[in-house]
Amino acid sequence: MRILATGVGKLIKPVPSSDQVQQETRTLKSLALTNKVMSAKEAVQRYVQENDYVVSELTGNVRGPMALIREVVRQGFKDLKAAGNTSTLDIDLLLQAGCVKELDLCYVGYELLGTSYTMRKMIEEGKLKITEWSNATMAWRLKAAAMGVPFLPCRSMLEGTDTFKYSAAKIAECPFSGDRVCVVPALRPDVALIHVHRCDIYGNAQIDGITGSTLEVAAASKKVIISTEKIIDHDEIRKNPERTAIPYFMVNAVVEAPFGAHPGNMPYLYDMDVEHYKEYINYCKTGEGIKEYFNKFIYNVPDNDGYLKLIGEERLEELKRKEQIRYKYREE
């Protein structure tokens, strides 16, 4: 299995040996059933350190850990690394607030709603170090780490593309079939931020609808902070063990955060707050009002409850109603 080529991009997070992974698991992932419920403030203080590589588990605007992201911003980090995969407001906020200096990048943007002016400006001004990837190769990098293997082969992002050239992947030849494969290095983030529909006090979490890379991210990451729409009884978990998306031992902290994905979408619970997105994107585009936005929605509110008060009950109820109309057929 010869290595035929190597991308010139920096491997922002080096691949740990399995020895190190097992040792970290023993230190950081306990099988004890302990109550991990704490405030977002405490969770971020305890489990996010300056220089950490952070992954925010979401798919675009769905199930983003926005309450946790806002807390990370609030605590004023300056030197995080992060994964910009299918990212939207999560990474935009971290970049705009100056929290992140290095980014594995495959997509930051808003599709039909527009571009991330923040990311664009920082890169054009040389203020953000980046390494290039695609959505699938980043998802497979996380899957590799979740599987405990140092790399995975794939048939995408081969030589000839600049996406490969500016990545930190390699090209190899399969010793069985002769196929050329792109070999992607495992990505083991220091900390994962994940928002779920419900979990128990130990961190056993269930999600509904689009799953993205939930289990992969939780298993791949050294430390995991979960925020949840609500906390449910442990017995509910044991009634439907097939429904457990993340088992408790992967989780370090549980934060209760209703509407914690706002302004994003929480399948079956509430719709995207498109107006909120549009306002934010416009502030970034024009450069006007962005300071006020951060002051108003993040720095001058102590927590998620404070944030939700600013959004207002009426708007939140409206988002709930819109989403729930859509899925009434599930009850049919």
Chain positions 37 to 96 lying near another protein, rule: CB under 8 A, are 58-62, 84, 86, 88
Residues 232-271 interacting with another protein (rule: CB under 8 A): 237-239, 241-242, 244, 247-250, 265-268, 271
Among 27, 162, 239, 325, indicate the residue that binds a copy of itself (CB under 8 A). Answer: 239
Which residues pair with residue 256 across a beta bridge? 228
Counting contacts by CB under 8 A, is residue 215 touching a copy of itself? no
Distance CA 237, CA 199 (A): 8
204 or 227: CB nearest another protein = 204
Counting contacts by CB under 8 A, is residue 26 touching a copy of itself? no
Counting contacts by CB under 8 A, is residue 201 touching another protein? no
Q: Name the region of 230 (left: φ>0; alpha: ψ -120 to 50; beta: rest).
A: beta
Among the candidate windows 64-72, 122-130, 182-190, 309-317, which touches a copy of itself by CB under 8 A? 182-190
Among 45, 76, 149, 300, indicate the residue that binds a copy of itself (CB under 8 A). Answer: 149
Which residue carries 């936005």 as its tokens? Answer: 293
Q: Each residue of 154-174: b (16+ CB within 10 Å) or e? A: bebbbeeeebbbbbbbbbbee
Among 98, 114, 148, 289, indicate the residue that binds a copy of itself (CB under 8 A). Answer: 148
3-class state of residue 25 by DSSP: helix
The two structure tokens encoding residue 237: 């978990």
By the criterion CB under 8 A, which residues form the site for a copy of itself? 1-3, 11, 14-18, 147-155, 170, 172, 174-179, 181, 183, 185-186, 208-209, 211, 239-240, 242, 329-330, 332
